[in-house]
Every structure is written in structure tokens, then in C-alpha cells.
Amino acid sequence: MSITKYPMTVQGAKALEEEHAFLTKVERPRLSQAIGEARELGDLKENAEYHAAREEQGMVEARVRDIEGRMQNAVIIDVTTIPHTGKVIFGTTVEIANVETDESVTYQIVGEDEADIKLGKISVGSPIARALIAKEEGDVVAVKTPGGVIEYEIVEVRHI
């Protein structure tokens, strides 16, 4: 059984590390104290505060284990250390223009956990990223969308 490694940007790894630190240094002690206080209130079977704190504790612990697993299997890629060739690779920020409408949009290609379309971050596994990877500035790529095939020209590839 091989362990799958997941690509992650430096920013994505930093965000996970910050979340992990918050959960372990702030949330764990807070929940432990809340459970202790709820215990002191008496009968645990009918104690809503106790059950709510235990449930939240379970969710925090699950997220901590999830983050630790992801970090263990992460391959952190710092695109700023990779020579700029004009080629689209994981971590690059790509400006593309719709060939038909000339509308341009900019996306950073990131790991699955980091994807957030509102922030212009798309997953490396998304159809648009898969179409862009390994192409170069000036290339035209066809992206299959639910509304049909859209052609984009790669305007600029940035390592930021």
C-alpha cells in the first residue's frame, strides 16, 4: 500500500500549521476546562453543557488528526524557488483570457485543501487547472465546462 502524497503551497502549509496550533493550544484547553466545569454541575446523563463540550471536543480532535495526516503526506512546493519558464506548473498564478469574450481572469493553482474560488485559488485537480498544467504563455487551451467547451489563452504565468 503506497501513501499518496499531496502537493501543497507554502501558504497552504502555513495556514494548516496555524489552524493546528490554534486547535491544540487554544481550543483543547478551553474544551477541557468546559468539560471539567460541566462535570461539576452533577448528573452527566442530563447535562447538555457536558454533552455539547464532549461533542465539540470530538470534532476538534478529528480535525487535529486530519491536519496531522495531511501535513505528514504533504509535498510542500515553493513556486518562488522554481525558475520561471512561462510554463504552468503547480503553485503558479496564471492569467487567462477567454478567446471569445476577451474577459480575463487570474487563478493560482493550489492543492485540493487550499482551493477557494472566491480567492482565485483553484484545485490542481479541477478541469481548468488540468487543462492549463504543462502549457505555456501564449498557448490556447480548451476547457470542458457544463456549458460547453471554452477556449482560453494563457496571457501570463507568475511565480508568486
Residue 26 lies in a domain: yes
Q: Express as a percent the part of the chain with pLDDT over 70.
A: 98
Q: State the Cα–Cα distance between residues 27 and 4, nearest whole angstrom.
A: 30
Residue 34 lies in a domain: yes
pLDDT band at 41; cut points 50, 70, 90: confident
Residues 35 and 88 in one domain: no
Mean of the pLDDT values across residues 40-51?
A: 79
Residues 30 and 97 in one domain: no
**What pLDDT, on a 0 to 100 scale, did the predictor assign at position 72?**
94
pLDDT band at 99; cut points 50, 70, 90: very high
- Count how many domains the chain has: 2
Residue 93 maps to which CATH number?
Answer: 3.10.50.30
H helix intervals, 4-149: 10-22, 28-40, 48-72, 127-132
Residue 43 maps to which CATH number?
Answer: 1.10.287.180
pLDDT band at 2; cut points 50, 70, 90: low
Evaluate whether 78 touches 10 at the Cβ level (below 8 Å): yes
Say whether pLDDT at 137 is over 90: yes
Q: Indicate the residue among 43, 58, 77 that finishes a domain.
A: 77
Residues 131 and 106 in one domain: yes
Question: What's the pTM value of the predicted model, to 2 decimals?
Answer: 0.81
Residues 86 and 46 in one domain: no
Residues 125 and 88 in one domain: yes
Q: Which helix (H) or strand (E) holds 144?
A: strand 140-145
Say whether pLDDT at 13 is over 80: yes
For residue 114, how many other CB atoms are within 10 A of its CB?
21
Residues 95 and 146 in one domain: yes
pLDDT band at 50; cut points 50, 70, 90: confident
Say whether pLDDT at 65 is over 80: yes
**What pLDDT, on a 0 to 100 scale, did the predictor assign at position 14?**
96
Residues 122 and 141 in one domain: yes
Domain that holds residue 114: 82-158
The DSSP call for residue 112 is: G
Residues 120 and 68 in one domain: no
Q: Indicate the residue among 30, 59, 77 that finishes a domain.
A: 77
Q: Express as a percent the part of the chain with pLDDT over 90.
A: 80
pLDDT band at 21; cut points 50, 70, 90: very high
Residue 1 lies in a domain: no
**What pLDDT, on a 0 to 100 scale, did the predictor assign at position 81?**
95
Residues 92 and 60 in one domain: no
Residues 142 and 103 in one domain: yes
pLDDT band at 158; cut points 50, 70, 90: very high
**What pLDDT, on a 0 to 100 scale, did the predictor assign at position 1?**
58
